[in-house]
Amino acid sequence: GAAQAAKAAVNYTPTKADYQKVYNRIAEIMDDAGEYDDGSYGPVLLRLAWHASGTYDKATNTGGSNYATMRFDPEALHAANAGLAVARGLMDQVKREFPWISYGDLWTLGGVAAVQEMGGPKIPWRPGRIDGYARDATPDGRLPDAAQGAGHVKEIFARMGFTDQEAVALCGAHALGRCHRDRSGYDGPWTFSPTTFTNDYYTLLFDESWVWKKWGGPKQLEDKKTRSLMMLPTDYVLTQDTHFKKHAKAYAADSALFFRDFSAAFARLLELGVPFAAAEPWEMRSLDEQK
């Protein structure tokens, strides 16, 4: 196939050092965001990695990050993926410089760089994804709908093969980034530091009072005190569902526990649907560690 042909053309098996170079370029681009959002492309790159992976269905072993099918319509046009053209465009710049990397490896490595460079835990990662075709795409509707309740969140993450605890651990990534009116219809950031990976998402969920925002947009909550933060209905259920609440409270109380559990769950998310060779995952080094 195309992947083999590309590999034969460069006639070279990339090493960990080569992937570290890609990581470094992504990290540089991420920081070079100027006035974009909160000054970093990190959050939108994380969202690309997640949406590329979160189409996985355990029962049929379809979807996931392997084929990077979001490059093609109609998946690129699925409503859940609105705004991700920004992230795919940035990744295309990197791809031009390192043409040997597959899109699935590139996008998931982008998610790893985003978490690590924004101060999060190390995310073990390994290459091995191959570029697929439009016909490998999964149907619309596999990514979560923010307007739904706890049952939907459980169902979606269970379909990918995650427990409730893992689902809650993953949700802490909403400490990062923001919602955009012209993408999802929702508006605003979840935390006061949307480019720093913290457990603030959980502490804010429990420490602030959340009220329904009175506005013309979709149903979302705002914090009563400053009215500058937001929660989606699917975020708020972490304080309402008994099982979710137990884990969310634990992550609010113990940042190290959150970092550990997030790392494990996110690493697994990025590998959904990927038939790896035996190689062990690597820890890529942050830019700071290479100074």
Instruction: Using the minimum distance from each CB to ligand HIF, give the nearer residue, 94 or 168.
Output: 168
Residue numbers of the site for ligand HIF (CB under 6 A)?
43-44, 46-47, 50, 83, 144, 146, 153, 170-171, 173-174, 176-180, 183-184, 186, 232, 234
To the nearest whole angstrom, how small is the minimum distance from the Cβ of residue 250 to ligand HIF? 16
To the nearest whole angstrom, how small is the minimum distance from the Cβ of residue 219 to ligand HIF? 12
Residue type for 258, please? F
Instruction: Using the minimum distance from each CB to ligand HIF, give the nearer residue, 131 or 174.
Output: 174
CB 231 within 8 A of CB 205: yes
To the nearest whole angstrom, how small is the minimum distance from the Cβ of residue 168 to ligand HIF? 9
Instruction: Using the minimum distance from each CB to ligand HIF, give the nearer residue, 50 or 210.
Output: 50
Q: Which of 51, 78, 174, 247 is catalytic?
A: 51
Residue 81 and residue 83: Cα distance in Å, rounded?
6
Which two three-digit tokens encode residue 172?
């802490």
CB 63 within 8 A of CB 138: yes
Residue 278 and residue 280: Cα distance in Å, rounded?
6
Q: Which of 78, 190, 210, 247 is catalytic?
A: 190
To the nearest whole angstrom, how small is the minimum distance from the Cβ of residue 202 to ligand HIF? 11
Instruction: Using the minimum distance from each CB to ligand HIF, give the nearer residue, 103 or 197.
Output: 197
Residue by residue, DSSP assigns 182-229 as TTTS--EESSS-TTS--SHHHHHHHHS-EEE--SSSSS-EEETTTS--
Burial class (CB in 10 A: 0-12, 13-18, 19+), 161: middle
Question: Among this protein's residues, is 51 annotated catalytic?
Answer: yes
Closest-by-Cβ residue to ligand HIF is 177
Instruction: Using the minimum distance from each CB to ligand HIF, give the nearer residue, 55 or 234.
Output: 234
Please name the residue ranges forming H helices in 54-163. 85-97, 103-117, 150-160
To the nearest whole angstrom, how small is the minimum distance from the Cβ of residue 152 to ligand HIF? 8
Half-sphere exposure of 260 (CA within 13 A, CB side): 6
Instruction: Using the minimum distance from each CB to ligand HIF, give the nearer residue, 44 or 101.
Output: 44
To the nearest whole angstrom, how small is the minimum distance from the Cβ of residue 264 to ligand HIF? 14
CB 290 within 8 A of CB 21: no
Residue 221 and residue 214: Cα distance in Å, rounded?
9
Question: Among this protein's residues, is 190 annotated catalytic?
Answer: yes
CB 120 within 8 A of CB 259: yes
Q: Which residues are catalytic, by number?
A: 51, 190
